[in-house]
Structure 1
Amino acid sequence: MTTKLFARDIGLEPGFTFRIQKCPLTHDYFVHSHDFSELVVILSGSAVHIIEGREYPVRAGQVFLIHSNVSHGYKNVNGIEYVNVMFQPEQLLQQSELRLLPGFQALFYIEPFYRKEMYFKGMLTLEPGQLREATRLLDVILEEHDRRPEGYRLMIRSYFTALVGMLSRYYQTSSGLEDNKALRIGETVTYIEEHFLQPMTLQSMADMAYMSTRQFLRVFTRNYQTTPMDYVIRKRLDYSCTLLRSPDLSISQVAMDSGFHDQNYYSRQFRKVFGCSPSAYREKMQNSGDISPLSP
């Protein structure tokens, strides 16, 4: 039976689920899962990592992410030491600039699910110089976490964002795009993030990822908990919220400028996501002075 670990049971702070620890592992570690994500950086040694019942040899320099509710453990431990970062993605991975990095999409979203679904060998392996740079940032984060000086949460968020950005760059430069399915999908998601106002079809997105429409739809939906077209629509709706704050633009113009060619369709989608019409949203913003988009 797999043991389930919960953030509240291991002393992670409410509202700021984060812990970092440097772990020398001298024995096999039982298979378990948890309700938070883990970023693992192997510093030295080797072992066999068990993920969802499948076995993967790991060694110094390798970096991988374990999402919540994914079972994993270690066996055949051989002098391994690693840094383990436990966190909630929704608390620490909200920088919009990160989503524009194909390596980020691949390393933090696509690859973990590929590993779970099939024997996928796209794991990031850092070169010695890259591992030293990553270790340097991890040590700074570890010091902030252990000492907890004033503003330590802000500093942890900043340093962790820098670490994630650096690892995303390394992933992209170390992986051949043609051979790495996760990176190809990451490139496609980055394109969506940058060009969501342009015409898009499921077929065009699948072609960009070098996949069939059926396979792309299945993988994308599994990783992002929404379909590719609904992902595009949500991006357009969020953008339309910004345009609605301008009283000089008509609703039909907002719809057109947000990538919707049918105002009625735009209004239906807006109400479906935000629970009110675009006009009601605009009125609420004007009355309250609130400039924040509505939550779904």
Structure 2
Amino acid sequence: MQEYTNEFAELWLNVPNALERAGELWLVRAGRNRAKPNYAVGPKVIDCFGFHFVLKGKLQLEYEGRQVLLHKHDIFCLLPGISYVYGIQPASEALEMIWLTLDGRQVPELLSCLGINRNTPYTRNRLNRSSTHQLRAIIELLRTDQSEPVQRQILLLQLFASLMAPPEEPFHTQEKLRKSWVKTAEAYLRLHFAEPLSIVELAATAGVHRSHFSALFSRELGASPQQYVLRMRMDKAAAMLSEASLSITEIALSVGYSDLYSFSRAFKKYFGCSPSQWSF
């Protein structure tokens, strides 16, 4: 990085070629910096779209009489024709940013997808691991081969695709969701225990791998899905043997077994006696 009055920075300038202009999205300039304690920019107006990605620290942005404090993983964009002032927040962690100044007819659509507009030229906590990787890949490409427009276009589109991905849920929210689908799975098994069941299909419905589904189900309910189904079948069979005037074969078929033999074997293993002994 080169030292300047209020920052250490690298800067790359681009003249878009015919291919980039045909794609309606092109890089005008790009850079990265590490701010000094006196870092401040503006007031200034630009005629393109200046995307700034906050990697570390805090930054105060002022625009059209408004002020906002931005943090690590936030993004702000300098929109054409609007005067901005921005600078490091005093006594904060060292400020580091990457910026990409873009132009082309695709840019307003990209802004819209990110929720950035004239009234709110920023978005909170948008940078994730994937988008940070894409940003660094763009900078590395500019360092090594600034004449590669195809790869540059690919990386730009991959960057915005990653920025538009749903934000990662906090751990407590993920835990709440997991417990929710465990309850849903339990209700499903209570209703359909006598039907042919596939744990793989049940896990797929919950959107998780079978092993993870079984482990979490066991942790929350104290029994694996298979054990839970067995308990439901045996409890129902025992109640039917005690209360209903049905044959053992009818009960076996009613609680989900395909034949008397497999039911009798499972019943004796579970209760320690045969179905016929239980009924007397």
TM-score when scaled to structure 1?
A: 0.43
- Find the structure with the greater CA-based Rg: 2
TM-score when scaled to structure 2?
A: 0.45
Higher helix share: 1
